[in-house]
Amino acid sequence: MDFYLTSEYQNWLTEIKSRIVASRVRAAISANSELIRLYHDLGAQIVERELTAKWGSAFIDSFSRDLKKAFPDMTGFSPQNLRYCRAFYRFYRADEICQQSVGELTDEVCDVIPQPSVVKMDGADYSTIQEPRKGQSRNLVIE
């Protein structure tokens, strides 16, 4: 009998595949967590810089162009996305929220970033805090 046909081998293979999937998920969550920290920090920097920017200077548009020029292989630096970063920071800048939530945000959080017309604290808290603790995907949380 071939070894790969035994139930022992099949069980072992299933275990290895599960470990690979779990490692890939952890790696994705780690990478996404760093991006979320970056977007939150970008939002904070934008808010701070706008305090001294001249009104009508198109600061975000200029900043977007400069970031795209500096990092041509990256996406996510459009003026609209930078405005979302700013909104994300403003929404989560309270210490009790930032310290608890920002480090736990995961997979595709940009879909949860509040837009001015749809800010619902309870829904955002549920999506951003419950998702990583339960290990659910974003799609399961939203449904």
H or E element at residue 62: helix 59-70
Please state the domain extents for the chain: 8-142
On the 0-12 / 13-18 / 19+ scale of CB atoms within 10 A, 129 is: middle
Radius of gyration of the chain (CA): 20
Per-residue confidence (pLDDT) for residue 119, from 0 to 100: 44
pLDDT tens-digit profile, the chain (143 residues):
576 688 899 999 999 999 999 999 999 998 888 989 999 999 999 999 988 888 778 889 999 999 999 999 999 899 999 999 999 999 987 554 444 455 555 555 545 554 444 444 445 543 444 444 445 554 444 43
Q: Which residues of 80-101 are buried (b: 16+ CB within 10 A; e: fewer)?
A: ebbbbbbbbbbbbeeeebeeeb
Token pair, residue 39, equals 């977007």
